[in-house]
Amino acid sequence: MSWTLVRPRTLLLFGMVAALAACSTGPQITRTQEVPETADTPYKNILVVTLLSKFDSRRYLEQEVVSQLSALGTTAVASTSLMNTKTPMIRDTFMKMVENIDADAVLVTQLSSLRSVGTVVDMSPEATLNLRPTAYWNVFSVDLTEYVEPQAVEFEHSLVLRSELFSVRTQEPVWGIESKSKFSLGFDQAKDYSIIINEAEAIAKYLSRDGLLAN
């Protein structure tokens, strides 16, 4: 099995998405490899690997994928649960994990592309109105205070993830999909992990739909 670690820009993926609120719909899925007739499917014990530069980014996605697969009745183990931040992300590391958990397949997900466009937007002003009576009947003194917030930046993102399933027996890929998501977020919004959940749900759904899971 051969896996390539994507370029360092991948640290933007969930480091940014997990730290900021996002508004998105579910990803659009395209199959990049159909299951061959000779594949030794279905698989009952899958090692889940995410190839991103930030450990937490990998851990978030792997844990969610494991959760989704477990809900479907398939045993799955996150690679980040078997390593720490200093463990090298090399082939031998993952092959030892395969042996230790007796996995029959390896699911590898990595970033294919991420495009981001930021737009400066004007914020809505806030006004405070104070009325005070005067010495004259039905006449009031009016104090109007208006506060205009500083301009904000909104980001529009286009995200593409590539997932492949490898057979441990043949060490060849037996299945692949590409997921495309578009979402927007503000710079100062609260945390929201919906992007990770949506991606994990889509991966598990298509693995199950294509008959790759023993459940």
**pLDDT score recorded for residue 135:** 74
For 8-117+159-209, which CATH superfamily applies?
Anticodon-binding domain (3.40.50.800)
Q: pLDDT of 26-74, one tens digit each?
A: 799 999 999 999 999 999 999 999 998 899 999 999 999 999 999 999 9
State the Cα–Cα distance between residues 61 and 160, nearest whole angstrom.
14
d(CA 204, CA 196): 12
Confidence of residue 159 (pLDDT cuts 50, 70, 90): confident
Q: Which residue has the higher pLDDT, 129 or 112?
A: 112
Neighbours of 5 (CB within 10 A): 12
**pLDDT over threshold 70, residue 124:** no
pLDDT classification of 15: cutoffs 50, 70, 90? very low
Position 20 pLDDT exceeds 60: no
Q: How far is CA 155 from the centre of its chain?
A: 16
pLDDT band per the 50, 70, 90 thresholds, residue 117:
confident
pLDDT over threshold 70, residue 192: no
Asked, as a colleague might, if the bond just before 42 is cis with ω within 30 of 0, I would say yes
Domain boundaries, the chain: 8-117+159-209
Of 85, 84, 76, 83, nearest in space to 107 by CA: 76
Q: For residues 155-177, give the mean pLDDT.
A: 93
The reply to whether the predicted model has a pTM over 0.85 is: no
Which tokens belong to 188? 């100062």
What are the tens digits of pLDDT across the range 68-94?
999 999 999 999 999 999 999 999 999
